[in-house]
Amino acid sequence: MDFRDSPAEADFRDEVRTWLSEHLVGEFAELGSRGGPADERGWDVRIEWERTLGRDRWVGCSWPVEYGGRGLDFSQQVIFNEEYAKANAPARVSFFGEGLFAPTLIAYGTDEQKRRFLPKIQSVDELWCQGYSEPNAGSDLSNVQTKAVLDGDEWVVTGQKVWTTLAHRADWCFVVARTEAGSQSHRGLSYLLVPMDQPGVEIRPLRQMTGSAEFNEVYFDEARTSADLVLGDVNDGWKVAMATLGFERGTAFLSQQLAFQRELAEIIAVAQSKGSSRDATIRQELADSYIGVQIMKFNGMRMLTDLVKKGVLGPSSSIGKLFWSNWHRTLGERAMDVLGTDGLLVANEGSGAYELDEFHQIFMTSRAETIYAGASEIQRNIIGERVLGLPREPR
Amino acid sequence: MNFAFTEDQDSLRDVVRSFMDAKSTEEDVRTLMDTESGYDTAVWAQMGGELGLPGLHIPEEFGGQGYGFVELGIVFEEMGRRLLCAPYFATVALAANAILNAGTTEEKAALLPGIASGETIGALAFTESNGRWDADGITMVAKGSGSDWTLDGEKMFVIDGHNADLIVVVARTEGTSGEDGISFFTVAGDAAGLTRTPLATMDQTRKQARLEFSGVKASPLGAPGAGWAALAKTLDQAAVCLSNEMVGGAQFVLDMSVEYAKVRVQFGRPIGSFQAIKHKCADMLLEVESAKSAAYYSAWAAAEDNEELPVVASLSKAYCSDAYFHATAENIQIHGGIGFTWEHPAHLYFKRAKSSEILLGDATYHRELLAQRIGI
């Protein structure tokens, strides 16, 4: 056990820190860590910031060098994420492309596909969205009904996707579609890459409880994509789709606690300024949240150590998702406890708009976090069956 | 960054686990919990002689093996798995640490070799009938000067107090309050004027005693009046040890629950296939793994003796207390009726979890302490 950087790690940390201090200036620095993949505040500046990252190969820094990445190992990825969070750098707009699609592409794509798509992800010229969930395929994700049939050298895609984050900004969508007529469940699905800018794609925003609309419904009505834009084998797309979910639950959360720590510190500061930090119950709650975020850090370090040794994040990463999403949801509730009657009012008096301040944002957006990327109940199934070896339910 | 045990540490765990599996079976625990002393002198002698466990973290110059709290944490975790009934926690986590923190070099040289070899069983007489874990709870007054001191009053909940050859007593000098005047003394277990009464403990696997002092002659340990810092550190270190012990028990009952959920059939299916049971087990795993992370990290902070120790000791004690109790309670629920019987071991862990939660301050107490320590 040793929680200090090795000399090589310290050098790398220094490199990241130096780069950030030289580039995260002016309007980029003013953004702070606001926003997220589902939050469009400061959009144009964030795109510009991310292109700055991309030019120096910090977008795609974990990719192999031959595809333009830096080939960072797991420890370096975590160090980069830590320094990025400590610098209060903007939340990333290219999460779906860089974080989800690219690792899947690297694992399952052809060389030609990688050379076609990775450079545009790195240069932030093409943004991606994720076409998984459907009205009848939520937790039961394999119940996909969107169909794709081959017509000459093109796939023709028809169906409806939902909860598609940033679909209205995206250039491409990775779509799980049923390509084998009459197939059921996880068999007969393919992982198709579909361009968004075409007549057969209609996007309808979904306004969520926060008042804003980062999610969308996406209707495919005979949308077309080239026959070769399939990742993995035709009718064998389920395992590719699952690999993406693995990346979604992957390494990013290992350093997520830094942003959470900052939120907690803000809540504690407000509790102190309002005097509620003298209340015994509030003190218990704040201490409990502090314990949780520290344990998130300790758990993350144990998982990273494991990852470095074994090379893969096992199903135990489900523990991470279950832990952080519940912790954050509780933090949102405690933020409201601290606000008291101030919590009755949202940010901008008089404008007529429904705009949330940071605490209300935490309080509300955290309700989605225990649902997306595998609901807590699904995470518990995964832990029960794949980690503890309990019998599956009859299906 | 590396959050893993070394190969040597893993080997230590293997040795201790084998020993505990052999010497602290459920049958052994049930036999010993019905005795007044609550431990097996032959097993204790082996722990001291063959394994050198009482001296594990005592420096070599004082007769110990010179390891640290990470190794000690491993030993406690393995003892917790098997509910070892022995005065190890009292002797090592409490008495030895108090002497290491409070004693002068001469006092350490006089007192620690006996503990390290296993010949001396120690105890820390700290709490009183007010049940408090803070400085204000210490009301016993020591009178005297130089090397001549006399103790009068009562100490309660003294773990293995009736078994100890050497009792480290915490009292205060006359006319002091709060953290001022806190003082350490040592008293022989058979000292004149000392009456020791074994208590009827809810958790029968860890014995406690009431100690009544009537004009007991005591030797100072360190400088009388200036002991608070040493006591606070001792309590933090003991909380780290107890957290690791609790983690061992929590993992054991989780394994018990999962095993039972796989084989117990109701409605024609193993009950572990039902989400109601599966999700309980998943939550237990999340808490047990998180408790391990906290306990191991706090052991590292104690080993480094760094400034993080007070915060992570309270963090660890609060989280592990809740996680262990929750795991043992769910274990009973998952077992159903059989889990409520005397014959089934579930209640042994349930009671150990509750007593461990209360000892050294419960989760609520440590969350408040943590709040103070992080400046809320």
pLDDT digits (tens, 9 = 90+) for A266-277: 999 999 999 999
Domain co-membership, A377 together with A311: yes
In a domain, A363, yes or no: yes
From residue A303, how far is each of B61, B77, B316 by CA, in Å? 38, 20, 19
Q: Is B123 exposed, middle or buried (0-12, 13-18, 19+ CB in 10 A)?
A: buried
Give the pLDDT confidence score for residue B80 in this predicted structure: 98
Nearest-by-Cβ selection for A391 from B273, B283, B300? B273
In a domain, A46, yes or no: yes
A250 pLDDT exceeds 60? no
Domain co-membership, A74 together with A134: no
Domain co-membership, A271 together with A175: no
Beta-carbon separation of B273 and A75 below 8 A = no
B57-91 pLDDT, tens digit each: 999 999 999 999 999 999 999 999 999 999 999 99
Mean pLDDT of B284-305: 97
In a domain, A104, yes or no: no
Q: What is the domain-level CATH number for residue A182?
A: 2.40.110.10
The complex scores an ipTM of: 0.97
Residue matched to tokens 């028990």: B249
pTM: 0.95
Q: For residue B229, give the amino acid letter.
A: A
Give the pLDDT confidence score for residue A252 in this predicted structure: 66
Beta-carbon separation of A388 and B4 below 8 A = no
* A283 touches B at CB < 8 Å: yes
Q: Which domain holds residue A137?
A: 128-235
Task: Provide CB contacts within 8 A for B8, sequence distance 6+.
Answer: none
Domain count, chain A: 3
Domain co-membership, A255 together with A383: yes
Active site residues of A: 248
Domain co-membership, A178 together with A266: no
Domain co-membership, A257 together with A145: no
Nearest CA in chain A to B315: A291
Beta-carbon separation of B294 and A280 below 8 A = no
Domain co-membership, A217 together with A256: no
Give the pLDDT confidence score for residue A92 in this predicted structure: 86
Which residue of A274, A293, A294 is the best one to mutate when testing the B interface, meaning the one whose CB has the most B CBs within 10 A? Answer: A294
The beta strands (E) that lie in chain A are given as: 128-131, 147-151, 154-162, 172-178, 189-195, 201-206, 215-226, 230-231
Residues in B touching A290 (Cβ below 8 Å): 315, 370-371, 374
B252 pLDDT exceeds 70? yes
Nearest-by-Cβ selection for B293 from A299, A392, A393? A299
Instruction: State how far Cα A362 lies from the chain centre.
Output: 16
Beta-carbon separation of A309 and B4 below 8 A = yes
Nearest-by-Cβ selection for B374 from A9, A280, A290? A290
Beta-carbon separation of B3 and A389 below 8 A = no
Domain co-membership, A142 together with A215: yes
A194-218 pLDDT, tens digit each: 999 999 999 999 999 988 888 899 9
A246 pLDDT exceeds 90? no
Q: What is the domain-level CATH number for residue A13?
A: 1.10.540.10
Give the pLDDT confidence score for residue A306 in this predicted structure: 87
In a domain, A106, yes or no: no
Q: What is the domain-level CATH number for residue A368?
A: 1.20.140.10
Q: What is the rounded distance in angstroms from the CA atom of residue B238 to the CA atom of residue B230?
A: 12
**3-class state of residue A340 by DSSP:** helix
A244 pLDDT exceeds 90? no
B116-166 pLDDT, tens digit each: 999 999 999 999 999 999 999 999 999 999 999 999 999 999 999 999 999
Nearest CA in chain A to B298: A298
